[in-house]
Amino acid sequence: MLKKSEIEQRLSSYGDFLLKRSIIAPGKEQYYITWVRGFFYDESFFKGRTWEEKLPQYLDKLTGEPRIASWQVDQADQAVRLYFQNFYAADKSSIEEVHTGSDNDTPGVYDSNKALKDLKEWMRIKHYAYKTEQSYLNWCKRFFSYSIECKGGGDQRGSVHVSPELIKDFLAQLAIQRKASKSTQNQAFSALLFLCRHVLHLELKDMEKNLRSKIGKKLPLVLSPMEVKRLLAHVSGTTGLILKLIYSSGIRLSECGRLRVKDLDFDQHLLFVRSGKGDKDRSTILATQIQHELQLHLTIIRKRHEQDLADGFGEVYMPGALGRKYPAACREWGWQYVFPSARLSVDPRSKKTRRHHVSDGTIQKAMKKGVRAADLVKPASVHTLRHSFATHLLLNGVDLRQIQDYLGHQSVETTMIYTHVVKNMRNPAISPLDLLDQMTGEG
């Protein structure tokens, strides 16, 4: 067991670590030190046990204290984990480097501008989506800013320090100080992992397995058939048509925006999704009730496209190398978006002036407005309509495997989550409170 002087020396270094790394809110360092001190001085801590085994017992002991609130228990959990996963791991690795005679005890220095440029090139080589590209670049920029802040500023050339320890600290700061969700933290780690693997060639060792947050299973939010009917009664125009199409076909918002005219098969009542999530194609239902309104919409869009051609525009984005293989296809009617934007815009990659598809934000605003107008208390989003599509098909007796094909899920286990929602909607059990009079023989 550590001596008292050794513990206090380590805690002093831990306090300096917290001050320099800006992981927690300023002024909270003393509380984190106090929790770790209590962890070390606890009588149940003895040699031969790991801190992971000890921590749950320590937290249980704190939970039993009447003067300690639940948020303080969470803070103690964060304090101990920061000590062992961030501070102690980094301190231990630096000691090992000194003993092995390594002179590289400082993190590597990289050119941030060149790293971001190479990162963008690698993502385009691997055909990452444009939104993913922007998201990864943003996380790497934020990490570089954090690195400069921790190291006291960078030079004019944009050089930054990068090391596994700094990556750990950045993710810890997101979770503790920024209160980022688990999915946000995992997205940030994915961006930094891509940067280290393909651009910086930095080995992260076991961090790839240990730094991802585990996300529990969550039931999807689903509207009842009556709630969907009320919602669709309060939406109109092109955005209303889009929301009806998403509910009737179960497609994602991004997939709806990328729909081309050629992907609609009115004769067979089918809608084809091209290069959906995971770069997979699939077909789904095209509801009969929506087809007439959809055809009227296409008539209007075709006239607009013909006017664009007359004005010297009329091109649309072509996936992959199809634009070079078929130079005239970008002006053909079949390749045009079903729901184009109201304005021409400049493509951020090719710099060509085109008519892009309608923005996701426009549809999300229309959905939010419709939810308010329908007086729905559920925080429904556009994706809620996709969940409702799958659940209502299950309620109508459609086979789970068929629903999996409609949604484009890779595994049927993903689709099975809707069975838990249906279980609550179909013949729910009667509460014992409602049966109380019958059980007591009264009434």
Catalytic positions are 252, 277, 383, 386, 409, 418
Give bridge partners of residue 304 from the DSSP assignment.
none
Calpha distance 67→291 (Å, rounded): 64
Burial, 160: exposed, middle or buried (Cβ in 10 Å; 0-12, 13-18, 19+)?
A: buried
Structure tokens at 439: 């059980």
Q: Output the CA–CA distances (angstroms, integers) from residue 5 to 11, 16, 37, 92, in the order listed.
A: 10, 17, 12, 19
Give bridge partners of residue 159 from the DSSP assignment.
111
Calpha distance 43→19 (Å, rounded): 29
Give bridge partners of residue 272 from the DSSP assignment.
283
Calpha distance 230→275 (Å, rounded): 32
Within a 10 A sphere around the Cβ of 224, how many other Cβ atoms?
Answer: 15
3-class SS of residue 346: strand
| CA-based nearest residue to 163, from 105, 92, 119 | 105
Total residue length of the chain: 443
